[in-house]
Copies of this chain bind each other. A is one copy, B any other.
Amino acid sequence: MSPATEEEFVQLRLDHHRGVRTGVAEAVYAPGKTPGQCAEAVHGLLHGPGTGPVILTRADREQAEATLSRNPGGMSVQTGPDTAVLTWRTSPARAERVPVLTAGTADLPTARECEAVLSAYGVRPDLVCDVGVAGLHRILAEADRLRDADLVLVAAGMEGALASVVAGMTDAPVIAIPTSPGYGASLEGVTALLAMHASCSPGITVVGIDNGFGAACAAVRILNLGARTRGTTETITGSGT
Contact = CB atoms under 8 A, between A and B. Distances in A.
Interface of A: 1, 3-5, 9, 11-13, 15, 17-18, 21-24, 26-27, 31-34, 37, 75-79, 81, 96, 103-106, 108, 112, 115-116, 119, 124, 129-138, 140, 150-151, 157-161, 164-165, 167-175, 178, 180-187, 189-211, 213-215, 217-218, 220-231, 235, 237
B171 A165 contact: no
Contact of A193 (B26, B185, B222): B185
24 contacts: A1-B115, A4-B78, A9-B108, A22-B168, A22-B171, A27-B202, A134-B164, A134-B168, A136-B140, A136-B165, A159-B194, A159-B196, A159-B199, A161-B161, A161-B195, A174-B221, A184-B210, A185-B194, A187-B194, A187-B198, A191-B198, A203-B220, A222-B225, A225-B226
